[in-house]
Every structure is written in structure tokens, then in C-alpha cells.
Structure 1
Amino acid sequence: MRHGWLRELLGWLGAAAIAVIVTGQVASTDRVDLLLRDGDSLVVPMFVRSILEGQGWDWAMSTVLFLPESAMFALLRLALPLGIDALLLVNAIINVIALYGAVRLVAGRRAPGRAPVTWSLAAIAAFGVIAVSETGAARESAEIASLLLTTTYYSATVIAVIASIGIARRVCDRSGPRRGMLVALGIVAAVTTLSNPLYLVWATVPLGAILGFAALRANDRARMLALLWWIAGGTAVGLLGRIPFTAWIENSGLGYAKPQLWPESAAYYGELVFDRLSTPLGWVGAVVVTGLVVLAVHRTVRASTRGERLVAASAWVLPLLVVIGAIALGTNAARYLEPVVFAPLLALVADPKSLSRLSPAVARATAAIVAVLLLVGAGLSVPRVVSAATAPDADLACVVDWIDDSDQSGAGQFWTVRLPKLHLEDPSQLVQVDHQLNGYSWLVNRRDFDTTAVSFLIVDDQTLSWELSLGAMQVDVIECGRYAIYDLDPEEVPLGFPHS
């Protein structure tokens, strides 16, 4: 205990090394497109740039408001003189470190015979193994651990869910006053639900089921019901807090629920799992997750304290209920199943006992070897992160330079237009439209639709066939690698009414 602060510091440094290694590996595969160039992945940097540069607050968001993610990216942009790609990769590293912090909270307090720092690092290492086994560029796949590295795909919600379990565990283990921790749980639930109501499905419902079941035991009833009321109350406050943001929210989320399509949903997720298991790396990730789930069930049965039982049960109940719920609601988005890969990590910290069979000398030698491996791995990964952050994109530069020099307004479809739009000197020069040239009001600044006509179109292989009648209009094509610019100058084509 005398050197507890040093253990904690080394734990954070170890987590940072793992974060650099994971980010460097993922960024060196095709998955880098999802981190740096995907249309969805760019909403947070686009939103933050709009706010910091005074381009207006009239944004069209999805169900998710990305409030914690935007706050973090804004701090990074204000603090670091880096380009967009570098900031996104730094943010990815911070997300993994934050995951360690949440897992460390779950692991509980230090005490004789316990090694919460060691087992928290083991959990992050397990996450790293799963994440680096994901190498594809597809956003819709069962490769969902690496989504934590993005600023868009619910990283803050994942961390908040795990932190909620950690707070609940601390309440269960504590014998003294618990008011402060209960309030903290309510605040986490409220803020996270305000930003992303998916917290209701990932945390409030499954944790509510676990706490409600635990409350059947008379000696646990008061404590478990208090946790239940605070997490439910915080969630309710968060949902009510979304009312002032109604003008920003283009989809309340209710439209995603289509229970009548549950067979199609089951088939869809089954196909994603089948595709994942068609590669050796997919099997690596699946074996790790399956092993953790089995361990979680075992520790639930053998738990000796209420805190251990709560954490162990969460590690397998959350994935189970989330999968059942996703299918029952007829959803078809892999990102909704993220608890399947994150919750099982908690099996490693449910009962973080010291490895008593190791002699002190062997334990110190093992720790030293692990530290050297992490240090070397992080050192070798830094150049990979830097390379991904500074990799030239001649095609993007060609488009951006042409538009910056043109002093014209143009348009493009969602998956095509967002990357060039983010990198323009004036993002409003590119308007996001559908294939019929109607404004597409989705994850974008609505002030862009003040532009009523455009004089060029930008296309790539993600662009749907246009349904336009250009008549005898002269069109000059500027080739920019994977992009093409259809220059209609000096003619202009009117834009249709915006829709979401």
C-alpha cells in the first residue's frame, strides 16, 4: 500500500502504451479508412470546427448528439497544433486510456491480496487483442471493438457504461456512506443519456435487471434498490434534457425499432458473425470473447461478495440482453452490439486477486519483462501512428485545391462529400445533397442550405447514380484520382428542398 500511487501511475503508463500499440496497428490496416475518412466518423471534427470557427450552431444531428466526444475533440484541437488526421489518432489513443480508467474503476480498491491494476491492464490487453484482429474497412461488420478508436461510434457511451458498473461496484463494496457515489452514478446516467439514449439499452435496462434480481435478497435490498433508482432516475433526467435539443435531432430513434423485422435482423447479425469467423483473425477475437464470457459465468456462480457478483454478472448479462434486444427490435447496425466485446472484459476484474503462487522475485521479473515489451511495442508503434497521421492523399488534395481556388459552390452525396468538405478552407462551398440534388440534412450544418444553386458536382465510387436532367449543359470533368469533379461553370443547377 505504501507504493500504491506508483502502481497506479505505472498502470496508467501501461494503458497508454497499449493504447499506442493498438492505435498504431489498427491505423496501419485498411481499418484506417474508418478512423480517418469515413463519412460517419467525421461528424465530430466537422461539428467542432463549425463551432470553434463561428460557422453556426444550427446542426442536424442523428439520435446521438456526441456531446462528450465533441468536448474532448475541441480540447484537443485547442491544445495541440496538429492536423485533423493527427487529432483523430490522438483521440483514439485517449479513448483506449479512458477505457482503462473505467475498467480500473470497476476493479475496485487496492487491498492486501488484491491486484486491481494488474488485472485492469490485463483487461485492456484483451481488448487490444480483439481490436488488432480487426483489419477491414467496412463499417458494417462484426469488427466492433475497434469502433472505440473513433470519435463517432459511441466511444463515450461505452466508457460511461463501464464506469457505471464501476460506481455500482464501489457502492456494493463500501460499508460507509454512499450518497456521493450514488449521485455520481445518476450524473453519469443523465449526461450519457442526454448525448446518446442508447445508454438506456446498454446500461439502464440490463443493469436494472441485475440489480432488481439482486434486490430479492433481503440483506441486499436497500443497496440494490438505491442503485436502481439512481441509474433509472439519471436516465430519465437525461431523456428529459434532450427536449431543448429537439431542433438538432433529426431522428428520435423510434424509427429504428421495427420488431416485425426480427427474423431479418437475426439473419443479418448471423451473417456478420459468419463473415467474422471466416478468417483466422476473426477466430482469435471470437475465442477471446467466448473465453471471457465463460469466465464471467463461472465467477458469477462462485462470487463471494455482492460487488464481485454484480461485475461478473454484468460481463455476460449485458451482451446477452443487448443481442436479444437488438434482434427483437429488428435493428440492423453492428455498432449496437458493442457491449458484446466490451462487457466481457469485466470478467477479468470481477475478483482481481493477487497471483499468490508467484514468488515476489518471479512477480517482479514478470512485471519488468511486460514493461519492457510494452515500452518497445509503443516505441515501434509511434512511427506507425505518425505515418498514418501524415500520409499524403493526393486525390483529396487535388479536390480541395481545385475547390479552394474556384470560389464556387458545389455539391456531393453524403459518403463522397464529407471528407473534402472537412478539409476545405470554407466548408460551406460543398453542400451535402441526395442523388436528386435535394439538400440532405443529416450530420451537417443546416446553414449550408442557404446556398440555393451549385456549379459543380463531386463524385467517387460511393456516389449513387444521379437522377438529374442537365440537358445540353456543357460539363467539364476534372479527374482527381478516386474523385471526379463535374464542372458546370458558368451554369448553375438549383438545389431542391432539404430533407433528413
Structure 2
Amino acid sequence: MRRVWRRELAGWAAALGLALVVVAALASSPRSALLFDDGDSLIVALVARSLADGGGGDWAMSSVLFLPEIAVFAGLDLVLPLPVDGVLAANAVANLLALYGAIRLAAGRRRAGAAPVAWSVAALAVFGLLVLTETSPSRDALELASLLLTTTYYSATVVGVVLAVGLSRRSLDHAGRGAALPVALAATAAVSTLSNPLFAAWATVPLALVLAGLAVLRRADRRRALVLVAPLVGGTVLGFVARIPFAAWIANTGDGYVQPAEWMHAAGYYGGLAAARLSTPAGVLAAVLVLALLGLAVVRTVRTADAGGRLVSAAAWVLPLVVVVGGIAAGTHAARYLQPLAFAPVLALVAVPRAVTLRPALARAVAAGVGVVLLVAGAVAAPRIVQAATTPDPDLACVTDWVDASGRTGAGQFWTVRLPKLHAADAARLVQVDHELRGYAWLVDRRDFAVGTVSFLVEDAQTVPWHLPTAGEPAAVIECGRYRILDYAPETLPLGPAHS
């Protein structure tokens, strides 16, 4: 037992080293904008800090509630004496460790001839390699693995999907040994769906198809496989029902995202993203790696004898296939919906985690050496994370210092105002509006609009030209690098009706 625990702890230590290396690389690349600065990426931090300040808020969310993500960020923010960018970086490390834990569950229990810990570390390393190939600052690029490191782009859903696969595998491996695993599967589906209905498309539908396929192809697996469909589907339905009390927070139910008539445009859109990705050597490397994993998954689905290994193998290629086909059929236009293309294929590595035959002493030496190298690499990488998270942004500081000192309330558009809003001493001092100064109730606390009027505007290169028929020229213009503050004081500008 002691040896088992040492092995598991060594796996977690190696995963921590890998996580630090991957986060350091991302934080030092242009894609760090998605981690620290992107307007979409800041909703979790905004909500968590609002809750920490004692305000429940009247939030206008998308169809995603980000409940696990908010809980994780709030917990890290509470215990870590770090500025907000430091907490975002720590959250990225936590997300990768959570993925490792889910992959380890999917690798199955320790048994003779198997090395689930080693292969789980290998799977995380391959996923990390995919992250390292992604450097574009664009949220619309087909660079899917790195989205897990953000607090917003469905990190909890990714982990929930892999957990569902792992719990299903463990249930098949331990059939007839109680209801704990099916109950855990139902709970995972319920919480994941409550937070993000996309779980149904990423996990419930494709995993139910995989379980049904197991039942059809092998009579010996029929009962065990079909029994798992009930907690998976039942938990998903329960999650949808649990969303009802949160209706006031859900500004968009997601129905508008499904436009089947647009399927040809969706296919062209995703094809264009794929072409752009394949135009770089890093993109080609990532594509080859994913295709190799998908090929391995198909081969192992055919050749694997045990039901648990076959389930994980099939999930590794069925999940991406269903999501891509479904995304095009639904007429969607967002790269983030295709994330199973990045995380599901790595499950092929843990479907059949066979141990490599080595002498015990040599095996221990290799494992220890790899662990030490990863920990040292993580220790070397940690200062890069600190540097990236603490590098001063004088333009942002210029805006927030001016806003804090003014004691007044101003406004800005979505892509412009959210970063200063997060870093200002009082987020309510910056109201989110559209170009006609109407309140823009999207991923924001609607209580902000109660102020009624503002006396200055913040703009940058992303700001749509203002259309303010009731306003004259600003009394002063404060230049803050990439930002400008248009100060109308003592005049005030009335806010228009809020919309989402």
C-alpha cells in the first residue's frame, strides 16, 4: 500500500512540474492575452471578486454559469496573497492538475502488467505539448488545448467530461460492487450540465452512443454498459432542471447558437480555421499528433478485450467525431465548441496502460529520473510565471489610477472596459455600455446600470465609434497609452435602456 501511495504522489508531483512548464510557456507567449486580458476571460474573476466583496450581484450570464470555475478561482483568491493576474496563473496550474486527476481516473486501477500513473503523466505531457504549439492571441483560432488554462473557456466542463469517461470505465471495471460510481457519474453530469449545457453535447450524447455500442457489440458487456446510461442521462436531465432557479442570471439560453440552416457556413468557417492552423509548422505538428492519437484510439477500440479499456478507446475518437459533426450540423461559429478535438484523443494513451517491461530497479530509476527532471523543470519555469503575472501594464495602471482618483463613474464598451473594470478599486465605477451608451447586460452585474449617468468614457482601438447625439466635445482627453479617457465633467451623459 505504501508503494502505491508513493507512486501516486510521484505522478501528482510530475503533473505539477508539467503544469508549471506549460503555464510558463503560455504566459510568456502572445496567447497570454487570453489568460490575463481578454474581455471574455475575465467574467469568473469579476464574479468571484464581487462575491468576495460581499455582493451577490444581479449578473447577466451567458448560457454558461461557470459555477465550478467561480468556486475554484474564489478559493485560490482567498488563500493566495497574489494580485489578480497571479491568481489567474495559479488557476491555470490548477486546471491542468484537475485534468491530470481526471485522466488518472480514466486510466483505471493499478493492476499487474499496467502502469496507469506513468501513462497518465504521459497523456498530460502530450496535452501540454499541444498547448505549447498554440501562440495566437486570437480567441477564434483553432488552438483548443490552451483554452483549458483560462478560467472562462469551459475548463470545468473539460474536466467533467474526462471524469465522466473515467467514472464509466471504473464502473465497468468494478461492475456489481455497489452504486457509488454510478451515483458519482450522475452527480458529475448534473453539476456539469447545471454549469454548462454543452456537457450534454460533449459527453452525454457521445458517451451514451459509446455505451450503446458496447452493449450491441458484446453481449457480455450489455447489462453493465446499459446500466450506466441511466445515471449519465438522468444526471444531465437533473442538471437542466437545476438551472431553473438560475433563470434570472441566464441572459441567453443558447437557443440562438443553434442554426441548422447555417451548416454550410459553419463548415466553411471551421475549414478556414483549420487551414489557418495548418499554415504554420506548429499547427502541422499538432494536427499530426492529434491524428496519430485518433488512429491509436480506433486501433485500440478494435483490439482491446476488456470493456473499460474499449470504452476509453472509443471515447477518444467518438467524442471529437460527434462534436465536430454536431457543431457543423448545428451551424455554430466558435472554435471553443470543438475542444474535445484537443483533450479527448489523449485518452487513447490511458485506455490500455500497459507497463513497459524493465527490471524493477531500472524501472524505479527511470521513473525517479523523469520525476526529478519534471520537478526541476517546473521549478525553473515558476519564475517565468511570476514575471508574466507581475509585469506592469502602465497603460492599464494609468486608467485605473485616474478612475480611482476621480471618485466618479464612467463607461466603456465590452472589449475595452472589462480589463480596467477588473483592476479598478471599485468595479462599479466603470459601466459596460454599447456605442450608443445603452447598458450592455452581458457577463456583467446589472446593478451597475442603476447609476443612471456617467461623466467620462474609456476607449481604445477596439472601441466602436461613439454615437452620442446628446453630448458635445469632451472637456478633457487623458491619454493613457493604448487607452484614452474622454472626460465630460461637469457634464454627465445619460445611460440608455440596458440590453443583452
Shift of 1:79: 1.0
SS in structure 2 opposite 1:178?
A: coil
**CA-to-partner distance for each residue in 1:74-126, whole Å, 9 max, x for gaps?**
11111111110000000000100010000000000001111000000000000
CA distance in 2, matches of 1:369, 1:9: 15
Residue in structure 1 matched with residue 121 of structure 2 by the alignment: 121
- For 1:299-314, what aligned pairs fall within 5 Å after superposition? 299-314=300-315
Residue in structure 1 matched with residue 248 of structure 2 by the alignment: 247
Q: Percent identity among equivalent residues? A: 56
**CA-to-partner distance for each residue in 1:187-230, whole Å, 9 max, x for gaps?**
00001100000000000000011111222243222211110011
Shift of 1:72: 0.7
CA distance in 2, matches of 1:472, 1:90: 45
Q: Which amino acid aligns with 2:209?
A: A
SS in structure 2 opposite 1:439?
A: strand
Residue in structure 1 matched with residue 378 of structure 2 by the alignment: 378
Gaps of 5+ in 1: none
Shift of 1:373: 2.3
CA distance in 1, matches of 2:242, 2:363: 50
CA distance in 2, matches of 1:467, 1:26: 38
**CA-to-partner distance for each residue in 1:287-310, whole Å, 9 max, x for gaps?**
111111010001001011011110
Shift of 1:470: 4.9
Residue in structure 1 matched with residue 486 of structure 2 by the alignment: 486
- For 1:130-279, what aligned pairs fall within 5 Å after superposition? 130-216=130-216, 217-279=218-280
**8 Å contact kept, 1:473–1:491:** no
Q: Which amino acid aligns with 1:390?
A: T
Shift of 1:474: 4.0
Q: Which amino acid aligns with 2:327?
A: A
1:460 maps onto 2:469 in alignment: no
CA distance in 2, matches of 1:150, 1:117: 26
CA distance in 1, matches of 2:148, 2:183: 27
**Which of 466-475 and 137-146 deviates more?**
466-475
Q: Which amino acid aligns with 2:347?
A: L
- For 1:44-443, what aligned pairs fall within 5 Å after superposition? 44-216=44-216, 217-356=218-357, 358-443=358-443
1:496 maps onto 2:496 in alignment: yes
Shift of 1:371: 2.2
CA distance in 2, matches of 1:368, 1:467: 64
| Alignment CA distance shift 1:9-1:474 (3 Å) | closer
CA distance in 2, matches of 1:274, 1:171: 40
Shift of 1:472: 3.9
What TM-score, normalized to structure 1?
Answer: 0.98
**8 Å contact kept, 2:471–2:493:** no
**CA-to-partner distance for each residue in 1:331-382, whole Å, 9 max, x for gaps?**
00000000001000100000001002x3334433432332232123112201
SS in structure 2 opposite 1:477?
A: strand
1:40 maps onto 2:40 in alignment: yes
**Which of 266-275 and 469-478 deviates more?**
469-478
Shift of 1:469: 2.2
Aligned residue pair count = 499
**Which of 46-55 and 235-244 deviates more?**
46-55
Calculate the aligned-residue CA RMSD, in Å.
1.1
CA distance in 2, matches of 1:174, 1:297: 24
Shift of 1:451: 1.2
SS in structure 1 opposite 2:235?
A: helix
Q: Which amino acid aligns with 1:191?
A: V
CA distance in 2, matches of 1:76, 1:47: 14
CA distance in 2, matches of 1:473, 1:417: 21
**8 Å contact kept, 1:300–1:313:** yes
**8 Å contact kept, 1:106–1:162:** yes
1:8 maps onto 2:8 in alignment: yes
CA distance in 2, matches of 1:472, 1:138: 36
**8 Å contact kept, 2:10–2:371:** no
**8 Å contact kept, 2:88–2:151:** yes
**8 Å contact kept, 1:171–1:178:** no
SS in structure 2 opposite 1:246?
A: helix
CA distance in 1, matches of 2:53, 2:103: 36
| Alignment CA distance shift 1:33-1:474 (3 Å) | closer
Gaps of 5+ in 2: none
| Alignment CA distance shift 1:181-1:486 (3 Å) | same
Q: Which amino acid aligns with 1:457?
A: L
CA distance in 2, matches of 1:241, 1:361: 53
CA distance in 2, matches of 1:482, 1:283: 34
CA distance in 1, matches of 2:246, 2:37: 28
CA distance in 2, matches of 1:438, 1:56: 23
**8 Å contact kept, 2:439–2:498:** yes
CA distance in 2, matches of 1:104, 1:350: 11
**8 Å contact kept, 2:455–2:492:** yes
Q: Which amino acid aligns with 1:316?
A: W
Q: Which amino acid aligns with 2:400?
A: V
CA distance in 2, matches of 1:40, 1:276: 22
**8 Å contact kept, 1:56–1:445:** no
CA distance in 2, matches of 1:425, 1:303: 57
Shift of 1:55: 3.0
CA distance in 2, matches of 1:245, 1:487: 38
**8 Å contact kept, 2:130–2:145:** yes
Shift of 1:56: 3.4
CA distance in 2, matches of 1:460, 1:124: 39
**8 Å contact kept, 1:56–1:447:** no
SS in structure 2 opposite 1:411?
A: strand
**8 Å contact kept, 1:277–1:283:** yes
**CA-to-partner distance for each residue in 1:111-143, whole Å, 9 max, x for gaps?**
111100000000000001000110111000111
What TM-score, normalized to structure 2?
Answer: 0.98
Q: Which amino acid aligns with 2:319?
A: L
Q: Which amino acid aligns with 1:413?
A: Q
**8 Å contact kept, 2:189–2:232:** yes
SS in structure 2 opposite 1:485?
A: strand
SS in structure 2 opposite 1:278?
A: coil
CA distance in 1, matches of 2:222, 2:175: 15
SS in structure 2 opposite 1:442?
A: coil
CA distance in 1, matches of 2:300, 2:327: 26
